[in-house]
Amino acid sequence: MPGFITNYLDKNVHVTPGQYGSPFWALVYILLVFGGVSLAVVCMNWLERKILAHMQVRLGPMRVGPHGLLQPIADALKLILKEDIVPEGADSFVFLLAPLIILVAGFSVYCVIPFGPTHAITDMNIGILFMLGVSSLGVLGIVMAGWASNSHYPLIGALRSSAQMVSYEVAMGLAVISAVLMTSLNPAGTGTLSMIGIVQAQYAQNTWFIFKFFPLGFIAFFIFAVAMVAETNRAPFDLPEAESELTAGFHTEYSGLRWSLFMLGEYAAMISVSSIAITLWLGGWMRPFPNLLQGPTWDLAFSLFPALTFFGLAAMTFYSTMRMPKHPYFRIQTIGLGAFGGVFVLIALILLIPRVRDGVQDVYWFVAKIAVFLYLYIWYRGTFPRYRFDQLMRVGWKVLLPLGIGVLMATGIMGLRTEIWDFVHRLVHI
């Protein structure tokens, strides 16, 4: 990061730019992450509609491209071509600014997310703090959107949203602190807020923090997992956008590209909070059992997973291709689907090249863990009704917050148990 920016920061904050310590590589990673996240949002859009549809005994998008694969692109085109309406009476400057703030807040978080021990834009020594701080800026955009729309429903949606995000951030922060506390319990004895440091601490302690001091780590993870759904305004905490009550909440008055920026920001936030959870509790980029199953054989076995995943995807695609109707009307679609399968096979083959195979290891496991979280998000949406506002507040303040404080104290006591034991021992012997 250039000096003129770091000068504004605390002198004690150390920032290490990208993989090779140069701004150039940081820039490359910024582009890679921005492109990758945007692509992930597009995939997520299609997957969410498909998976949700199959949970609800329907097919989902089927018309644009084979199995609706081109639907996100069609949607994006439609949104770009739509009129960008600014309602009369709205504060147009704030109205136009709001989606940008949400988007910037959603994407800035990716600065410190480590996709691998060396794959990160930066590694700040206050990484997790930076992340919590920036991601909570999103609420500003929501309040601005609701206020500037000059309409009742968006205003109520924005009020709900800000109250919800502020209250769940408290519980979230407590859960995060308890994980950070655990980093100081390795033999080296130094705690860290750096995202890479947190994962390395898990490696050093031979355990993912979710299993540390069982069930303490698990409870902290659970608190975070609930709070992160609330933070991203997703079902069952999607009150700000409760369709049946507030039509669309804070973005009721938005249309076209600006509306899609809100969606992009929301999905980016979903991915980023999942990454925090993974980094803090689920071993970040590490493959399962990195300490237990060591040796060249295991390394080779695990390094085949990316290729196997893509072969699996290719197999599914070819199976669907075979099941396509034989009518000439579907010929282009069948060919398209087959081509998709071909691309998957190609990617799988590239992933078999030893250099590539070892290079993508860390990123693969990270992305695989994110995918599980995103599936959970969709699953929640398919099964849960929506919380009411007061119940949401009750869960946040009366359940998660005391639980978080309790877990934090218990973690501290567990971490200092030898010292406390010594102290008690001495007291008794005096």
* Binding footprint of another protein on the chain (CB under 8 A): 52, 55-58, 152-153, 156, 160, 235-236, 238-239, 242-245, 247, 381-391
Write the CB contacts of 53 (distance below 8 Å, at least 6 apart in sequence): 59, 60, 61
Q: Are 192 and 128 in contact (CB under 8 A)?
A: no
Which lies closer to another protein via its Cβ, residue 161 or residue 303? Answer: 161
What three-state secondary structure class fits 206? Answer: coil
Least distance between another protein and beta carbon 242 (Å): 7
Rounded least distance, CB 245 to another protein, Å: 5
CB of 233 vs another protein, minimal distance in Å: 13
Least CB distance to another protein at residue 154 (A): 12
- The helix (H) or strand (E) run that includes residue 124 is strand 122-124
CA–CA separation, 167 vs 290, rounded Å? Answer: 37
Instruction: Classify residue 158 as exposed, middle or buried by CB count within 10 Å of its CB (0-12, 13-18, 19+).
Output: buried
Q: Which is nearer to another protein, 59 or 413 (CB)?
A: 59
CB of 317 vs another protein, minimal distance in Å: 26
Strand, coil or helix: 430: coil
Single-letter residue type at 289:
F
DSSP 17: E
- Cβ-based nearer residue to another protein, 119 or 160: 160
Between 161 and 411, name the residue whose CB sits nearer to another protein.
Answer: 161
Q: In whole angstroms, how close is the CB of 82 to another protein at the nearest point?
A: 20
| Closer residue to another protein (CB): 82 or 381 | 381
In order, the DSSP letters of 246-313 are: HTTGGGTT--HHHHHHHHHHHHHHHHHHHHHHHHHHS-TTPPSSTTTS-SHHHHHHHHTHHHHHHHHH
Comparing CB distances to another protein, the nearer of 243 and 422 is 243
Among residues 152 and 417, whose Cβ is nearest to another protein? 152
| Nearest approach, Cβ of residue 365 and another protein (Å) | 32
CB of 44 to another protein, least distance (A): 18
Please spell the DSSP secondary structure of 148-188, one letter per residue: HTTSHHHHHHHHHHHHHHHHHHHHHHHHHHHHHHHHTTSTT
Query: Based on CB atoms, which residue is closest to another protein, 92 or 391?
Result: 391
Which residues, 6 or more positions from 80, have their beta carbon under 8 angstroms from its beta carbon? 256, 257, 260
Q: Can you read off the two tokens belonging to residue 65? A: 């491209």
